A and B are shown apart, each in its own frame.
Chain A
Amino acid sequence: MALVLKRPKLSLAEKLYLPALLGGLFLTIKHFVRTMTGANKVTMQYPEEKWDDQLPEWYRGAPTLVKDEWGRERCVSCQLCEFICPPRAITIKPEEIPLEDRWSKVEKRPKSFDIDMIRCIYCGLCEEVCPEQAIYLRKDYSITGLTRAEMVHDKEKLYELGGVMHGVVNKWNEKK
Chain B
Amino acid sequence: MDILSLLLSPEIFLIWTSLAKTLGLLSVILGFVSVSVYAERKVSAFIQDRVGPNRVGIPLTKIRILGLGQMIADPFKLILKENFIPNSVNKFYYYIAPKLAMIPPILVLAVLPFGSELFGVPMVIADINIGVLYVFAVSSLGVYGIVLAGWASNSKYPFLGGIRSSSQMISYELALGLSVVPVFLVVGTLSLPEIVDWQVKNGWMVFPFWPQGFSIEAALHDPKIIIDSIVAGFSLQRILIWIPMVISFIIFLVAMFAETNRAPFDLPEAEQELVGGYHTEYSGMGFALFFLGEYAAMIAGSGVIVTLFLGGWSLPLIPDGSATSFLGLPFIPAWLAGALWGVVNIGVFFAKVSALLFFFIWVRWTVPRFRYDQLMKLGWYFFFELALVNIFITAFVLAFVKF
Chain A positions within 8 Å of B, measured between CB atoms, are 21, 24-25, 27-29, 31-32, 34-36, 40-43, 45
Report the minimal beta-carbon distance from A141 to chain B, rounded to whole angstroms. 21
B373 at the interface (CB under 8 A from A): no
B47 at the interface (CB under 8 A from A): yes
Report the minimal beta-carbon distance from A33 to chain B, rounded to whole angstroms. 8
* A29 nearest CB neighbor, chain B only: B362
CA A82 – CA B366 in complex, angstroms?
Answer: 57
CA A27 – CA B47 in complex, angstroms?
Answer: 9
CA A35 – CA B50 in complex, angstroms?
Answer: 8
* A45 nearest CB neighbor, chain B only: B51
B46 touches A36 (CB 8 A): yes
* Per-residue contact bits, chain B 37-48, to A (CB 8 Å; 1 contact, 0 not): 000000101111
**In the complex, chain B residues whose CB is within 8 Å of the CB of A43:** 50-51
B46 touches A25 (CB 8 A): no
B362 touches A42 (CB 8 A): no
A42 touches B50 (CB 8 A): yes
**In the complex, chain A residues whose CB is within 8 Å of the CB of B46:** 31-32, 35-36
CA A31 – CA B50 in complex, angstroms?
Answer: 10
CA A106 – CA B108 in complex, angstroms?
Answer: 87
> Which of B43, B46, B362, B363 has the most chain A CB within a 10 Å cutoff?
B46
B367 touches A24 (CB 8 A): yes
Report the minimal beta-carbon distance from B215 to chain A, rounded to whole angstroms. 35
Within the complex, which residue of B50, B51, B54, B366 is in contact with A28, where a contact is CB–CB below 8 Å? B366
* A22 nearest CB neighbor, chain B only: B366
Q: List 27 A-B contacts (CB under 8 A).
A: A21-B367, A24-B366, A24-B367, A25-B363, A25-B366, A27-B366, A28-B47, A28-B362, A28-B366, A29-B362, A31-B48, A32-B43, A32-B46, A32-B47, A32-B362, A34-B49, A35-B45, A35-B46, A35-B47, A35-B49, A35-B50, A36-B46, A40-B49, A41-B49, A42-B49, A42-B50, A45-B51
Interface positions, chain B 242-259, Cβ under 8 Å from A, are: none
Report the minimal beta-carbon distance from B328 to chain A, rounded to whole angstroms. 38
**In the complex, chain B residues whose CB is within 8 Å of the CB of A32:** 43, 46-47, 362
Interface positions, chain B 359-403, Cβ under 8 Å from A, are: 362-363, 365-367
* B368 nearest CB neighbor, chain A only: A24
Interface positions, chain B 48-102, Cβ under 8 Å from A, are: 48-51, 54
CA A41 – CA B49 in complex, angstroms?
Answer: 8
DSSP class of A's interface residues: helix, strand, loop or mixed? helix
Size of interface on B: residues with Cβ below 8 Å to A: 14
Report the minimal beta-carbon distance from A37 to chain B, rounded to whole angstroms. 10
Report the minimal beta-carbon distance from B386 to chain A, rounded to whole angstroms. 12
**In the complex, chain B residues whose CB is within 8 Å of the CB of A25:** 362-363, 366
CA A27 – CA B365 in complex, angstroms?
Answer: 11
B367 touches A31 (CB 8 A): no
**In the complex, chain A residues whose CB is within 8 Å of the CB of B48:** 31
CA A68 – CA B43 in complex, angstroms?
Answer: 56
**In the complex, chain B residues whose CB is within 8 Å of the CB of A41:** 49
Report the minimal beta-carbon distance from A60 to chain B, rounded to whole angstroms. 30
**In the complex, chain A residues whose CB is within 8 Å of the CB of B50:** 35, 42-43
Interface positions, chain B 311-343, Cβ under 8 Å from A, are: none
Q: A35-B45, A35-B46 are in contact. List 19 more A-B contacts (CB 8 A).
A: A21-B367, A24-B366, A25-B363, A27-B366, A28-B47, A28-B362, A28-B365, A29-B362, A31-B46, A31-B47, A31-B48, A31-B49, A32-B43, A32-B362, A34-B49, A41-B49, A43-B50, A45-B51, A45-B54
> Which of A21, A32, A41 has the most chain B CB within a 10 Å cutoff?
A32
> Which of B47, B54, B365, B367 has the most chain A CB within a 10 Å cutoff?
B47
* B378 nearest CB neighbor, chain A only: A17
> Which of A40, A41, A42 has the most chain B CB within a 10 Å cutoff?
A42
Report the minimal beta-carbon distance from B375 to chain A, rounded to whole angstroms. 13
> Which of A24, A25, A28, A42 has the most chain B CB within a 10 Å cutoff?
A28
* A47 nearest CB neighbor, chain B only: B55
* B51 nearest CB neighbor, chain A only: A42
* A30 nearest CB neighbor, chain B only: B47
**In the complex, chain A residues whose CB is within 8 Å of the CB of B54:** 45
**In the complex, chain A residues whose CB is within 8 Å of the CB of B363:** 25
CA A45 – CA B54 in complex, angstroms?
Answer: 10
**In the complex, chain B residues whose CB is within 8 Å of the CB of A36:** 46
CA A43 – CA B363 in complex, angstroms?
Answer: 25
Report the minimal beta-carbon distance from B359 to chain A, rounded to whole angstroms. 9
CA A166 – CA B154 in complex, angstroms?
Answer: 71
CA A31 – CA B45 in complex, angstroms?
Answer: 10
CA A40 – CA B43 in complex, angstroms?
Answer: 14
**In the complex, chain A residues whose CB is within 8 Å of the CB of B43:** 32
